[in-house]
Amino acid sequence: MSHSHMPMIHLVKQAELYKAKRQQRDSRPAWLIELIDSLTDLFEPMSDVGRVGFDCQFDEGEWKVSLFLGQTEFVGGLHDGLSRPTNYQFNILPLLDLISDVEKLDYIACPDENLQTALEVESHITIRGQHQGNPLQLHILSTAPHQAGPGIRQFPNGAVDAI
């Protein structure tokens, strides 16, 4: 009698263990996860669809969070392999309800692409304050960081897949 089901059971168990370990490695506190979820609702793509990406780092006693809309990568067709940023609107007013004791609220404009490359800075909004008593520095980036990769794949038939 064949026991071919044993490797499949083993793979499923390994996947469950990997998921549990990945969740344990997530060092973000619950309040930060909740805040990021709330902030993603403030992004509104101006055309098509978008997927919000983020990066979180704990540094010098505060969480530094960057949020952005991921690029769209074209798969197949005339533009195969090309990626483009997603135009979006970000509603700032509800953001001010989520961040208390605001110490800083800046808009940094970097329209000169040569300067962007030299400084590794894109146009963005920076707000420093607190959320539920926790120090926080938040950056809303105009484009996804280069290392982020695409957030969505679009196919010639118009279908899209989140990555």
Q: What pLDDT does 4 receive?
A: 45
Residue 76 identity (one-letter amino acid): G
Domain limits of the chain? 29-162
| pTM for this predicted structure | 0.74
Cβ–Cβ < 8 Å for 152, 163: yes
Q: Check residues 4 and 134 and name the one with the higher pLDDT.
A: 134
Parallel, antiparallel, or unpaired for β 71-74 and 150-154?
A: parallel
Q: For the chain, first and last CA: distance in Å?
A: 41
Stretch 104-130: mean pLDDT: 78
- Tell me: the pLDDT tens digits for 52-64? 999 999 999 999 9
